[in-house]
Structure 1
């Protein structure tokens, strides 16, 4: 289904001009503009409604703004969903929005996030395209809210395998990065550096500009050569400023590294 590619793990696959335009805007941190392109279609089409909600949920995570718009879009997507796949994908997005709210300290919605992701797991069949994204998001919950790196690693590995099976390169860039982050925590610098480098390579190949600065900053953390690390952080800072200071949570990291 098309929505699996838009739910935080998509590319410009295919020649559809609308999809390509949406991807280009999304990758440059123009989520509101990308969502506007889908607005008319999203009024009646479940897949477009979910894509639009996905964009606005992602905007919340990267900018810490637009929560009400994301909620509205998500309710519309939930209302239009008519089969288990669409309901499961919408539940996965609701879980992500609640996770982002909790992670960023907007409002503690951890119970809602767990409930929504559990609902998604019940609705999405094993091997379904959206299952890999669900596994990844369960890994985020385990790592960042439950402080359970072992559970996170298992979920990320399932997501990595699913993203590989379904040829989902952007999701692979996320699983590489988060597996590398766990390796770094354990002092496995070679493994961490490899994972961060793979994540960066994929994002550069896809033109996922908004995700490139975090990938550069992460690679710098695992880089033993101080000059190379400084160069990577400087490039991350340049992209961060170019995109108007998103993702917002990268600011503190860059300031500390400087």
Structure 2
């Protein structure tokens, strides 16, 4: 496994497979989230988010993911994030909230909504200062610092190092969804460097994990990414399957549309 890139703005991983195995509410939230029903999932969390810092942060993360996949809902995500920041009391909670702040600012920047690159860097720097090296949120922070390095700073070497740290941490924590994202981004860097076999392996692993977890909303991007490393006719087959899922989910993620035309219009 090595390096990374993208088939569009990266989705946002979370500790979904670990969380949804622990609580009936989390199972329901995961099922909604995995199908792109972020508003419904956030609604399930709302009563508890008013007083529980962890739930408030989870709700903010869901609404932030909706922004990244749909380029909409920014004010709701900002409100949820401010509420989570207000409830945070420990360094871990403040650090996790800062990590979400950085990712939301990154999403706005990479999607061309507004240039918030400086805010993204500052927030992730604050998260790094608050989160201990062994903190649960550290692999996610490393992944997001990799995104900044790759897509805002154009520093693939720094991005690769951050993605590798994130992958090792996610593996140690059993966070399979985050592993899916690190596999994909490392594979994209490998593809950019002409390491085709390595790229195929990483993209295939990313897709496999998403299919096993039932992360439907993230499956079409994974199919498109793998298609970019495969020869014909396999590449066309993968894109057609991605287009079918894209239509099934009502055109989400929105940034995938251009890459799927004319398949998405078929």
- Give the shorter-chain TM-score range: over 0.9
Structure 2 unaligned segments of length 5 or more: list them: 1-11
Partners of 1:169 and 1:40 in 2: CA distance: 28
2:157 to 129, 142, 150: 150
Offset of residue 257 of structure 1: 8.1
Q: What SS does the corresponding residue of 1:129 show, helix, strand or coil?
A: coil
Partners of 1:185 and 1:14 in 2: CA distance: 37
Offset of residue 14 of structure 1: 2.5
Matched, 1:230 2:211: no
- Which residue number corresponds to residue 3 of structure 1? none
Offset of residue 127 of structure 1: 1.7
Task: Please list the CA deviations of residues 74-97 of structure 1 after superposition, one character each: whole Å capped at 9, or x if unmatched.
Answer: 000000001011100000000000
2:175 to 148, 168, 181: 168
Matched, 1:58 2:65: yes
Partners of 2:162 and 2:112 in 1: CA distance: 24
Quick check: 1:8–1:58 contact (8 Å CA) kept in 2? no
Matched, 1:80 2:80: no
- Which residue number corresponds to residue 116 of structure 1? 123
Partners of 1:247 and 1:138 in 2: CA distance: 22
Quick check: 1:96–1:137 contact (8 Å CA) kept in 2? yes
Quick check: 2:13–2:178 contact (8 Å CA) kept in 1? no
Quick check: 2:13–2:181 contact (8 Å CA) kept in 1? no
Quick check: 1:91–1:117 contact (8 Å CA) kept in 2? yes
Superposition misfits of 4+ residues, deviation over 6 angstroms: none
The alignment yields a C-alpha RMSD, in angstroms, of 1.4
Which TM-score applies when normalising by structure 2?
0.92
